[in-house]
Amino acid sequence: MQNNNGVVDQLIAAGAWISEKGWVPATGGNFSVRLADGFIVTASGYDKGCLTEDSFCQFDWQGNQLAGTGKPSAETGLHLAIYQLDLDAQAILHTHSVAATTLSRHVADSQLTIHGYEMQKSLAGIQSHLEAVNIAIFDNDQDIGALADQVKGTYAKQPLHHGILIRGHGLYVWGASVLEARRHLEGLEFLFACELERFKLQG
């Protein structure tokens, strides 16, 4: 796998950082970055804290594998759908933290609304704690094509920003670069942890 101007190194570094946070246990999660003619995504079964250049597969915009010898992640199709929906998304990080997974099951609505936190300004376009951050929640589905269709249907009604939650599964975040996606991930994880504690205090 060619390094494609260092983006593979950026994903490897992101994987080590995210693994250290405990957000991708048991080889869970997957990361990707957009290229001019497709995208690179982590292959299935790799410890995300120990990624190498051999841990990735490359796909075109039709979902055809172009490079990489690993087994494609089952969730590659959802990465493809997000890139097709949001042309500004340059990198996607999918994680499985306790806070994100628990909140996705606790909130019965189709979105989690967060407001009142200064940390909201870590998200691109958010200028104040007074703004509402809405993170859509989708029911989990082992049929990734069906799950991607759910995301596409929601996006057609209202564009999605920063990330989405998959109920009982985890979080997908994206950004205009790997670094921005990392910032969105860390900001959202802080906000999720705060909301989880708030729900506990409410009893």
Q: For residue 59, what are the CA distances in angstroms to 37, 77, 146?
A: 8, 10, 20
Report whether 94 belongs to an annotated binding site. yes
Is beta strand 170-175 parallel, antiparallel or unpaired with respect to 30-35? unpaired
At 192, the amino acid letter reads F
- Close Cβ partners of 81 (under 8 Å, ≥ 6 residues apart): 148, 151, 152
Sheet architecture: strand order including 38-42: 65-67, 56-59, 38-42, 30-35, 91-95, 170-175, 163-166, 133-138, 111-114
Q: How far is CA 139 from the centre of its chain?
A: 15
SS3 92: strand
Query: In this structure, are residues 93 and 172 in contact, taking their beta carbons and an 8 Å threshold?
Result: yes
Nearest-CA neighbor of 135 among 176, 103, 180, 157?
103
96 is in an annotated binding site: yes
Residue 105: CB partners within 8 Å, gap ≥ 6?
Answer: 167, 168
Binding-site residues sit at 94, 96
Binding-site residues for Zn(2+) sit at 94, 96
